[in-house]
Structure 1
Amino acid sequence: MKRSVQLLLALVAALALAACSTTEPAEDTTDNTVQQDDGSDAEAEALARQRAAEEAERQRIAALLENTTIYFDFDSDAIRSGDMELLEVHAKHIQATGKKVILEGHADERGTPEYNLALGERRAKSVAQLMRTYGVSGSQIEVISFGEESPANPGHTEQAWQENRRVEIKYQ
């Protein structure tokens, strides 16, 4: 019986040692699977970031296209640097769609009616020239001046005058 117990203990010890050992291939397979999952997750995250950036850009362009008014300083037909991107987006839209636009020039009430008509026209032509620079065909652009005759704000304050010194982009 003593011999049986020793044999049994030796068998249990051998089984315990065999059970504790691991093989390298199983460990490598697990690591490769984890690495592949991490790669797939990283690709999915990169794709999601790219789609989010594209959607944000589409929304930004849509917001710019909703703004169809360019404002000017007093007695000036110079386009402000802050409006360059707005006009570039409109120009690309005109090119992509083949639409035509009417550029309506306006002035505030100060100055003679004749002078304000000329100033409104110069402002509209300034916008037209920039759009042509961005690639819009001259045949897609019509320039009209209303001078002081069609104010956006009928007030007689600096704020009202600022709102009236403008070119409106009207799509046809």
Structure 2
Amino acid sequence: MHSIKTIAIGASFSLLLAACASAPKGNEAVAQAPSKPVTAVGADARGVAPAGVDALNDPSSILAKRSVYFGFDDYSVKPEATPLVVAHATYLAKNPRHIRIQGNTDDRGGSEYNLALGQKRAEAVRHAMVTLGVPESQLEAVSYGKEKPKAEGENEAAWAENRRDDIVYGK
């Protein structure tokens, strides 16, 4: 029964991504969502870690990953981020924890534009999690724009690292 629910959640998220995705530009390849849900290493089929294991801090768990990355000037959740978003949504649907989704941008563009883009990124992940069954009361979406870079530098590697949402769990 739980595997049917997990598959349904994964399928719903895939449909959400398809509905919210922007059209590919130029010759970009369109990535495919995974055909089956991805669970944390050491977790059962529902993505739940064994008793006594803190999946949020277990480095082998997908839940230890807390950043969702975006393309340049884009706020659609990439298909490769689906397993991460689904894992956190599944965890949150079963645990009354509060998270702050912090939208960030690279340093190109004006402050006002980047604050708005960061907010759209945070809202995209928040919306995906609500669609997957997380109560809205557990989620907060905020934007830091270009004010909290993860990487310093004026190159594509640094810019790509900074175009992200960070998932921050409350106490």
TM over 0.5: yes
TM-score, structure 2 as length reference: 0.66
TM-score, structure 1 as length reference: 0.65
- After superposition, the Cα gap between the structure-2 partners of 1:67 and 1:113, relative to the gap in structure 1 and judged at 3 Å, is same
Structure 1: state its 5+ residue gaps: 1-53
Counterpart in the other structure of 2:82? 84
What is the root-mean-square deviation of aligned Cα atoms in Å? 2.0
The one of 132, 135, 139 aligned to 2:133: 135
Distance in 2 between residues matched to 1:91 and 1:157, nearest whole Å = 33
Moved over 3 A (4+): 54-57, 59-62
Contact 2:40–2:62 (CA under 8 A) maintained in structure 1: no
Distance in 2 between residues matched to 1:88 and 1:161, nearest whole Å = 25
The one of 102, 106, 126 aligned to 1:104: 102
Give the alignment of 1:1-172 within 5 angstroms.
56-58=41-43, 61=47, 62=55, 63-172=61-170
What is the count of residue pairs matched by the alignment? Answer: 119
Report the alpha carbon displacement of residue 150 of structure 1 after superposing the two structures with TM: 0.6
Question: Which AA in structure 2 matches 1:130?
Answer: A
Contact 2:40–2:63 (CA under 8 A) maintained in structure 1: no
Task: Name whichever structure is richer in helix by fraction.
Answer: 1
Work out which of the two has the higher radius of gyration on C-alpha atoms and give 1 or 2. 1
Q: Deviations over 1:32-67 (max 9, x none)?
A: xxxxxxxxxxxxxxxxxxxxxx99551895421000
Structure 2: state its 5+ residue gaps: 1-38, 48-54, 56-60
